[in-house]
Homo-oligomer: A and B are copies of this chain.
Amino acid sequence: MDKGVQTRDAILDTGVEVAFSVGLGGLTIGALAERRRMSKSGLFAHFRSKEALQLAVLERARETFTDLVLRPALAAPRGEPRLRELFERWLTYGSKRIPGVCLFVKAATEFDEQPGRLRDRLAENHQDMLDTIAQVCRTGVSAGHLRADTDAEQFAHDMYGVLLVFYLTDRLLDDPAAERRTRVAFDALLDAIRT
């Protein structure tokens, strides 16, 4: 890999960590320069504006989410195995608090009342993920694992809720039952649509 790209990725990975800790709104060029022990002007030459940096960090998080969760899950056999793999990976890397996997949930509520490019990009990312879950759910119907009358968009919506409350109960509440309850909830969703 090109040295410049490596440097940029390393800077952005630190940016994802900072954003995961204090929010994407708290991620400034100054704060990132301090963490990377770089000059502010050097970082400014890379990113030009706070918003450009935030968008680049979000994009880097999307790459991490794709590498750790999405791509391996989509390599699993169609239908229920693929749906389970998607759930398990999202849950696992969520419970490991991998910044790139977790940033989307955090940033969603942070920016929902702030119109602009960041909000637009976040909405696209979440809609893409909902669409992907619905699509994987449909492979379960065509594979005969799930009922023909399954509402795939409703399933995607419900599965999202199961993971959002996992983030809250595991992370904010440190609830030792968080993961077990999340699995019970996901199994109940699947049971309701299985053939």
List the interface of chain A (C-beta within 8 A of B).
Answer: 20-23, 25-26, 97, 105-106, 108-114, 119, 122-123, 126-127, 130, 153-154, 157-158, 160-169, 171-174, 177, 181, 184-185, 188, 192
Contact = CB atoms under 8 A, between A and B. Distances in A.
Contacts of A113: 20-22, 97, 171
Nearest to A166: B161
A195 B61 CA distance: 45
A22 B21 CA distance: 16
B192 A188 contact: yes
Contact of A110 (B106, B126, B173, B184): B106
Given A181-B154, A188-B192, A192-B188, A168 B110 contact: no
Contact of A114 (B21, B119, B162): B21
Nearest to A151: B184
